[in-house]
Amino acid sequence: MQFSSFTKLAAAAALSILVSACGGGGASQDATAAEQSSGVIGSKGTGSDTGNSNSNSNSGTVVTGTTVTFMHMNDLHAHLTPHQDRVVDTQGESKIVERGGLARMATLIQRIRTENPDSVLMNIGDTYHGGAEAMFTLGNAIVDPVNALGIDVGVPGNWDFGYSSVVFRLRYTDTALLPAEMIADKLMPTFTAIKKPNFPNLAANMTSRLTGETVLPPTLMKDVNGVQVGFIGLTSDIVKFVYPLLAPLFDFAGDGQTSAEAEATYRDLVNQYATTLRNEGADIVVVMSELGIHKDFRLAQIVDNGAVDVFFSAHTHEATFEPLVSGSGALVVEAGNDGYLGRMDITVEGGKVTGRNWELLTIDSTLPEDEAVAALVRKARAPFMAADIKFSDPMPNSLLALVKPLDTVVGYTDTSLDRRGALQNTFNNAMTDIMRNYGQTDLAMNPGFRFDAEVASGVMLEDNTLATGDITLEDIYRFYPLMFTLATAEVAGARLKEILEESLSSTFSPDAFRQRGGWLEGWSGLQLTVNLANPDGQRVLEMRLKDSGELITDSTLVTVTGCKRPIEPRDILCRHSGFNNVAALLATGTGEPWSIIDLLIEGVSTGVLFDAGRQDIVDLNSTPMWPLTPFIQPLEGVQ
């Protein structure tokens, strides 16, 4: 094992998880905060600063050369402050802990920069979308605190397209909008200005349909104390799959292709840019990817040997405490979410990579807040905590308004709520029970999003207090930082089965490039028997109505309550087509369709009964699931 050439993280190194290029598979477990070292405020990556080669010993082994530290943050989802999160401890049990906070993260970043000025900070994936502060400002409230971190390079996530293609262009590019772009964007919100990140963002896999050119630079070459580092950026490939109106004039690699064709397209794309960067003198080549760790691990297996040193993943929120080792020699890692910061130390000697060491560091209460970033966070959040608050959703066709502070308690749960489950989870159970109660339908369904808030109830927290189960407006907007309305509809059993098969393949297919979207949708009123090990399209074995036990056959008509985006074909609910007799679910006394946010507030404030802990899906394969396995979504599918 080879180690970097500077002192490791203080006396707590014995508690950290440190691996070299020969490391094993992912392990989603909680690391202690003892890994953090002391230091002072630092600056952005040193770029072309000069300096001597580093030297460090560990267990008597001395490695000379230059070590570059790559700091990996991903899937911030606009989290500015610490929050509860569900993680897995070293015994494999899940627990609820406090994680995150940009001001704490800033302290850790500064310490690492002080320890090794030859460092680079990467921000990958969903950044400016999530929570009320982002939703009501089109992400503007998040920009200044993020910019203060001194990020060197980034890649947008799928949710960073969520405010319309025009807002995306204004945020991430400097070129003037074309009239055709304004005309094509049916979701353009009301705004006066869009704040921009102060660091370059990359996307090799996205082009403009108008110009045929990449919308963002595909690569970046950076000189870090004489080491040439080449970055390849891959943004999300599912934007148009999730909602075509988010990218009317953007094309993405793999659009319209079979999974095998898309896989080959991305393999060739990475090989092409990696070869170019190597020919231009890159000593290290890394891929920053929003495709998710499942696709990235597959790509790492099939790209040219030695083409890429590391794939830094985002999108899938998986915490890899040990790097995945691929057939091409590339390591693959993902740093969970905003509760972690990944650290990869890569040592280069004579133009060759001789060591790669990975640590996943926790962002927790042992880290003091950086005051400068904390002040920016307070400034960003102050309008949302004020007594006289009044915000309106700037997105078109939305009547959503925020008129109470985010810390307002609106309801209670006696079961902890979160989305930590790829097949079924407590929040989706609660939400769909509420939806079915108001819709008075056989079934209810809602999207299988990954982002969430943890609402803890009845468990002891780290400060030795008992979690109350209070649900605040902040929690509500963490679960739904976007506008959906609700509708009722009918669907035939044959189409319902197709929808379930599509979603199960998108989550559990062993073909990584068939995986799309988040996790399985939430359902209420449906008893489902599946075999996750069956081939794609053959996992659903039996469907029954939970209330009556009636078998759902191909010809059975069932009623469903589900979600609708503001502008989409009439027969669509929760992204799926094939529904009939779709009608808006109207709020009592207003005559307006319920928004999913307002219905959740109504449901928890009036005490609508829900069973968050129910298990209505039986898997005859008894597939082990997180936290019994390292990955929330099985790394190589189920077969």
pLDDT for 60 equals 32
pTM greater than 0.75 (yes/no): yes
What is the pLDDT confidence band of residue 355, given thresholds at 50, 70 and 90?
A: very high
Which domains are assigned to the chain? 11-362 (3.60.21.10), 407-619 (3.90.780.10)
Q: Look at residue 604 in the predicted model and tell me its pLDDT.
A: 97
- Across 327-357, b (16+ Cβ under 10 Å) vs e yields ebbbbbbbbbbbbbbbbbbbbbbeeebebbb
User: Angle 371-385/140-147 helices, nearest 10 degrees?
Assistant: 170
Does 11 have pLDDT greater than 50? no
189-233 per-position pLDDT tens digit: 999 999 999 999 999 999 999 999 999 999 999 999 999 999 999
Tell me if 604 sits within 8 A of 410, measured CB to CB: yes
Alpha-carbon 423 to chain mean position:
17
State yes or no: pLDDT of 250 exceeds 50: yes
- The mean pLDDT of the chain is 90
For residue range 365-415, list pLDDT tens digits in order.
999 999 999 999 999 999 999 999 999 999 999 999 999 999 999 999 999
Q: Which residue has the higher pLDDT, 452 or 548?
A: 548
| Cβ atoms within 10 Å of 368's Cβ, excluding its own | 11
Looking at residue 518, its pLDDT comes to 86
pLDDT at 449: 96
Judge whether residue 58 has pLDDT over 90.
Answer: no
Structure confidence at residue 379 (pLDDT):
98
Portion of the chain with pLDDT greater than 90, in percent: 86
Instruction: Give the tens place of pLDDT for each residue, 442-499.
Output: 999 999 999 988 999 999 988 889 999 999 999 999 999 999 999 999 999 999 999 9
CA angle, residues 272, 275, 278, in degrees to nearest 5: 150
The pLDDT-based confidence of 578 (bands split at 50, 70, 90) is very high
Please give the pLDDT value at position 483.
94
The model's pLDDT over 107-160, given as tens digits with 9 standing for 90+, comes to 999 999 999 999 999 999 999 999 999 999 999 999 999 999 999 999 999 999
CA 256 from centroid of its chain's CA atoms: 24
The confidence score (pLDDT) of residue 57 equals 27
CB count, 10 Å around CB of 405? 17
Rounded distance between C-alpha atoms, residue 288 and residue 164, angstroms: 23
41-to-177, 212, 583 alpha-carbon distances in Å: 39, 43, 56
Q: What would the mean pLDDT of 65-87 be, rounded to a whole number? A: 97
Q: Return d(Cα 297, Cα 395) in angstroms, integer.
A: 36
